[in-house]
Amino acid sequence: MNGQSTLPGWVDGPARSAVLELIQSVTTPGDSFVPPSERIATFDNDGTLWCEKPLYVQADFLFRRFVAMVKEDPQRAKEQPYKAVVEGDREWLKDIYAHVPELVKGVTEAFAGITTDAFDAAVCEFFASAVHPTLGVPYTQVAYRPMLELMELLKAHDFKVYICSAGGRDFVRAVCEQVYDLPRDRVIGSATTLEYRDGDLYRSTGVEQPLDDGPGKVIHIWARTGRKPLLAGGNADGDIAMLESARFALLVHHDDAEREFAYDAGAERALAAAKARGWTVVSVKEDFRTVF
């Protein structure tokens, strides 16, 4: 399994070795063997599996919808989060964690009352035409190739691979098969509340609690799988709980300004935890032979 044909997009360094050793140890009969039913792997999405800069893919999707909503009803331009988006207020938009209530309101209002199928269609329409603002390729092509290889390798070793996103579950589901070769039931994420009536499901204006972020990730993973992860991958502070609940933790470090983006903001505590707990840090610059 150590040959170059395995994980070809990874540099043959300590991160690649640690991952291969973990897979080898849990699949080889002996004391460290873990039965397939317990091989759960969970990956954060934004910044771990695909590029999250200069803005979250889902933020681009939502902001386009906000612009359309303001066109329909110009009064909206006076209230947040619509105001910031139509005015291009970078200062307001820079720290989305400072504006969670307004953004959650926007997110739920933007697609309230439509069916889950209609939402799925709206997401597919976005992905069919939207292009990453700096990479210049469709958003369906901004996943990290080494991470796709890792997911395939885990699947080949009977791991059940899940995406565990703080973002919208049903947003990721619209492209999980195309981008990640994962079925829809392997996407865990945050969600608006749903209502069932007349044989169909409608998006409501509430938000399912807890959000799939921080400790909520561990709770969601348990709710979905009945287990804690054997392997977890993340990149930000919101992934700390998930990573510490896993037997093997991997933290993607964005340190490659040339091929991607270099930033530690929002990952300071995660990087410190990785050091303290001996998690495997994956440097985009040093460990990824190819990025996309």
Q: Which of 87, 158, 185, 264 is close enough to bind a second copy by CB under 8 A?
A: 185
Q: Which of 225, 266, 286, 289 is close enough to bind a second copy by CB under 8 A?
A: 225
Site string for a second copy, 136-175 (x = CB under 8 A): ------------------------x--------xx--x--
With contacts defined by CB under 8 A, name the span among 55-63, 78-86, 146-154, 212-220 that binds a second copy.
212-220
End-to-end CA distance of the chain: 23
With contacts defined by CB under 8 A, name the span among 86-94, 124-132, 135-143, 240-248 that binds a second copy.
240-248
Query: Is 191 near a second copy (CB under 8 A)?
Result: yes
Q: Which of 71, 94, 184, 259 is close enough to bind a second copy by CB under 8 A?
A: 184
Query: Is 244 near a second copy (CB under 8 A)?
Result: yes
Q: What is the 3-state secondary structure (H, E, C) of the chain?
A: CCCCCCCCCECCCHHHHHHHHHHHHHHCCCCCCCCHHHCEEEECCECCCECCCCCCHHHHHHHHHHHHHHHHCHHHHHCCCHHHHHHCCHHHHHCHHHHHHHHHHHHHHHCCCCEHHHHHHHHHHHHHHCECCCCCCEHHHCECHHHHHHHHHHHHCCCEEEEEEEEEHHHHHCCHHHHHCCCHHHEEEECEEEEEECCEEEEEEEECCCCCCCHHHHHHHHHHHCCCCCEEEECCHHHHHHHHHCCEEEEEECECCCCCCECCCCCHHHHHHHHHHCCEEEEHHHHECCCC
Query: Is 199 near a second copy (CB under 8 A)?
Result: yes
Site string for a second copy, 76-105 (x = CB under 8 A): ------------------------------
CB of 208 to a second copy, least distance (A): 8
Site string for a second copy, 105-124 (x = CB under 8 A): -----------x--------
Query: Is 219 near a second copy (CB under 8 A)?
Result: yes
For residues 280 and 16, the answer to whether their CB atoms sit within 8 Å is: no
Task: Name which of 126 and 171 has its Cβ closer to a second copy.
Answer: 171
Instruction: Write out the residues near a second copy by the rule CB under 8 A.
Output: 37, 40, 116, 160, 169-170, 173, 177, 183-185, 187, 191, 194-197, 199, 201, 208, 215-216, 218-219, 222-228, 241, 244-245
